[in-house]
Amino acid sequence: MRNYRTADWSEASRGLRMRRISRAAGTELRGAPLGRSRIWLIKGSFTVILYDSWIMDVLQLCVIVMSMYLNTLKSSNGQKQNLDPSLEIYRKLFETKRKDQMHALKNMIELNDINQQYKIIDIMLKGLFKVLEDSKTILTGADVQADGPLPHDEKLKDAYSHIVENTAFFGDVTLRFPKIVHHYFDHNSNWNHLIRWGISFCNQTGVFDGGPHTQLLNLMSQELGISEKSPDYKNPFKNENEDFLHNNDAFHKALKDEEKRRRKEDKRKELRKGPRITKTRSEL
């Protein structure tokens, strides 16, 4: 017969008892029923606390409540993914598209010719914002919500992809060629409205959440002045030679050439329209 040392608590403990046991190191875990309680004997010399069943019920309830809270928190953080499982599929396709965009951007950077870069960006931005405008019209016309499920209609899916992918690519170009982009963007209110809408749309889709492009939209917004720059804002792609590159003669020459080209283009458009026919007073 094994000897046990038992220390009883006061009645205020509501049945809580403490028993000290001293057993050999090789004894195994076991439980012995005792009325509405259960005593646990574990190998080694230590204190065992005997809980009444009502205390165990309270603890179990706490565990259940905590589990429900954590599940709710997890659900709220991943609500977009839970509502639309196809989002993860699109995010993988988006990553593939981003690799193609990065390759095209890398080729443009490696040109190392400010005049060529200027011309390419000029053409690219005009096409990009035309796509954004058309895609926005399609999505708003169909009442597609950015935080809703991905559309199944092919036309709507294409418009959705065009908004997300072109907004992201414009952010890449903005951060790597800020001077050139500002030259075009700062004086074009239509582009400003479009990109604001595009950034807002992308932020609600969940496509950019938790991935490698999480900070892209925020950095682009700060660079373009859409959102206020934080005190610690820094363009991660700004290099030591940027100031020299964008202040040299080649860059200023490119700007002047572009202004001349625009003026000539405007004159040609006016000539194509022909002289305006105005009515004389006698005709009125």
Q: What is the pLDDT along the chain (284 residues), one digit of tens a residue?
A: 444 444 443 444 444 444 443 344 344 444 444 444 444 444 444 444 444 555 666 666 666 767 666 665 554 444 444 446 788 899 999 999 999 999 999 999 898 888 888 889 999 999 999 999 999 999 999 999 999 999 999 999 999 999 999 999 999 999 999 999 999 999 999 999 999 999 999 999 999 988 788 899 999 999 999 999 999 999 988 764 454 444 555 555 666 666 666 667 767 766 766 655 555 444 45
pLDDT at 25: 39
Query: Are 71 and 91 found together in one domain?
Result: no
Tell me the whole-structure pTM to 2 decimals.
Answer: 0.61
Domain boundary (35, 57, 77) is at 77
Query: Are 237 and 139 found together in one domain?
Result: yes
What phi, psi does 126 have (nearest 5°)? -60, -45
Query: Are 159 and 239 found together in one domain?
Result: yes
pLDDT at 241: 43
pLDDT at 210: 80
Q: Is residue 56 part of a domain?
A: yes
Q: Is residue 153 part of a domain?
A: yes
Q: Is residue 236 part of a domain?
A: yes
Query: Are 69 and 189 found together in one domain?
Result: no
Per-position DSSP letters for the chain, written without gaps between them = ----EEEPPPGGGTT-EEEEEE--TTPPPEEEEETTEEEEE-SSEEEEEEEEHHHHHHHHHHHHHHHHHHHHHHHHHTHHHHH-THHHHHHHHHHHHHHHHHHHHHHHHTT--HHHHHHHHHHHHHHHHHHHHHHHHHHHHTT--TTSPPP-SHHHHHHHHHHHHHHHHHHHHHHHSHHHHHHHHTT-HHHHHHHHHHHHHHHHHSTTTTSTTTTHHHHHHHHHTSSPPPTT---TT--TTHHHHHHSHHHHHHHHHHHHHHHHHHHHHHHHH-------TTT-
Query: Are 45 and 93 found together in one domain?
Result: no
Query: Are 126 and 253 found together in one domain?
Result: yes
Name the residue range of residue 16's domain.
5-77
pLDDT at 52: 52
Q: Is residue 14 part of a domain?
A: yes
Query: Are 162 and 31 found together in one domain?
Result: no
pLDDT at 3: 46
pLDDT at 42: 41
Q: How many domains does the chain have?
A: 2
pLDDT at 4: 43
Domain boundary (77, 92, 124) is at 77
Domain boundary (77, 99, 117) is at 77
Query: Are 62 and 161 found together in one domain?
Result: no
Query: Are 161 and 260 found together in one domain?
Result: yes
Q: Is residue 105 part of a domain?
A: yes
Query: Are 59 and 90 found together in one domain?
Result: no
Query: Are 249 and 191 found together in one domain?
Result: yes
